[in-house]
């Protein structure tokens, strides 16, 4: 059961990281992007803690990008989430899915394959690229490891689209894209979902880039002499922080609007 804490802290429960306010109003299941998803409570800590401070239980489920089987990742992530929800007696709270980048695809698969009850989903910087586009040096690897040359994510990008067309049932969706993000496919997903739910899909474009949703606190200390590496560190620190407040505000406002009809009922 959720209990009051003097200060909210992340706790590992089952395979997920959880932060819970003393009087929650809803639950957010968060899935991060490839490479950053292994420690979502660190990589996305600032944004997730802000959501927790406004009354949302955050269940951030880690996963690694070590398999091509995204279907299995989706089933494992959902299973972990259900265990946490049961342990913390959260079964009667509204649930929202929130994903960044590859995490968006995993949420789409969870909804399309497992049909969980969701009050809504938030997709940030979604992409559904093939293995060839997503994995650095994939083409070079196929030259040295011919066995992987024909490998593709399961389900493939096209099969994922077909699954969403047939089975995706969550009506309320917020899709967030950034002006300087040239690797997202939010507009394609928006077009697909709007055909299913013409009045309940919202698209928001914000200043920022593909890293804007990451709230990681980059603690970069420069050396005695300022090097090009120091410059990269300072740039990264600036980029991941400069637009987070705007993203947080958009998410909190949309979540509150979704919850309002539920409160009236």
pLDDT recorded at residue 34? 75
pLDDT recorded at residue 133? 54
Average pLDDT on 211-237 reads 50
pLDDT recorded at residue 150? 56
Residue 216 to residue 221: CA distance in whole angstroms: 15
Answer for the pair 173, 197: CB distance below 8 angstroms, yes or no. yes
Which element (helix H / strand E) includes 224?
A: none
Across the chain, mean pLDDT equals 81
SS3 call for 177: strand
In this predicted model, which residue has the larger pLDDT, 204 or 151? Answer: 204
| Closest to 204 in 3D by CA, of 152, 253, 137 | 253
Neighbours of 138 (CB within 10 A): 15
Average pLDDT on 143-155 reads 58
- Show me where the domains of the chain are located: 11-264
pLDDT tens, position by position, 61-89: 998 766 678 899 999 999 999 999 999 99
SS3 call for 56: strand
Give me the sheet containing 173-178, strands edge to edge: 11-13, 16-19, 56-60, 26-31, 95-100, 120-124, 173-178, 201-206
Residue 77 to residue 88: CA distance in whole angstroms: 17
| Closest to 17 in 3D by CA, of 7, 4, 5, 32 | 32
Average pLDDT on 153-169 reads 91
User: pTM above the 0.75 mark?
Assistant: yes
Residue 53 to residue 21: CA distance in whole angstroms: 7
Average pLDDT on 10-32 reads 94
pLDDT recorded at residue 263? 66
Burial of 193-208, coded b for 16+ CB within 10 Å and e otherwise, reads: beeeeeeebbbbebeb
The CATH fold of domain 11-264 = Rossmann fold (3.40.50)
Residues 6+ apart with CB under 8 A from 15: 61, 62, 76, 80
pLDDT tens, position by position, 98-118: 999 989 999 999 999 999 999
pLDDT recorded at residue 42? 87
pLDDT tens, position by position, 33-58: 877 777 898 889 989 999 999 999 99
Answer for the pair 126, 180: CB distance below 8 angstroms, yes or no. no
């Amino acid at each position: 059961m959720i209990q009051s804490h003097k200060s909210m802290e992340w706790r590992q429960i089952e395979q997920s990281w959880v932060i819970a306010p003393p009087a929650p109003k809803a639950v957010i299941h968060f899935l991060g992007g490839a490479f950053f998803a292994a420690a979502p409570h660190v990589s996305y800590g600032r944004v997730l803690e802000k959501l927790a401070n406004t009354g949302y239980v955050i269940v951030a489920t880690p996963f690694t990008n070590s398999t091509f089987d995204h279907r299995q990742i989706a089933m494992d992530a959902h299973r972990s989430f259900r265990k946490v929800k049961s342990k913390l007696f959260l079964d009667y709270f509204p649930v929202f899915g929130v994903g960044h980048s590859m995490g968006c695809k995993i949420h789409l698969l969870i909804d399309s394959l497992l049909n969980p009850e969701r009050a809504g989903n938030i997709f940030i910087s979604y992409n559904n690229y093939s293995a060839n586009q997503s994995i650095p040096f994939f083409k070079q690897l196929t030259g040295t490891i011919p066995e992987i040359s024909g490998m593709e994510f399961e389900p493939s990008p096209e099969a994922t689209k077909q699954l969403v067309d047939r089975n995706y049932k969550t009506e309320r969706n917020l899709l967030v894209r950034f002006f300087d993000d040239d690797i997202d496919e939010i507009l394609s997903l928006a077009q697909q979902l709007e055909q299913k739910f013409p009045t309940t899909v919202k698209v928001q474009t914000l200043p920022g880039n593909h890293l804007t949703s990451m709230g990681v606190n980059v603690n970069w200390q420069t050396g005695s002499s300022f090097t090009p590496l120091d410059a990269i560190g300072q740039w990264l620190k600036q980029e991941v922080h400069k637009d987070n407040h705007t993203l947080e505000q958009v998410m909190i406002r949309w979540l509150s609007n979704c919850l309002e009809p539920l409160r009236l009922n």
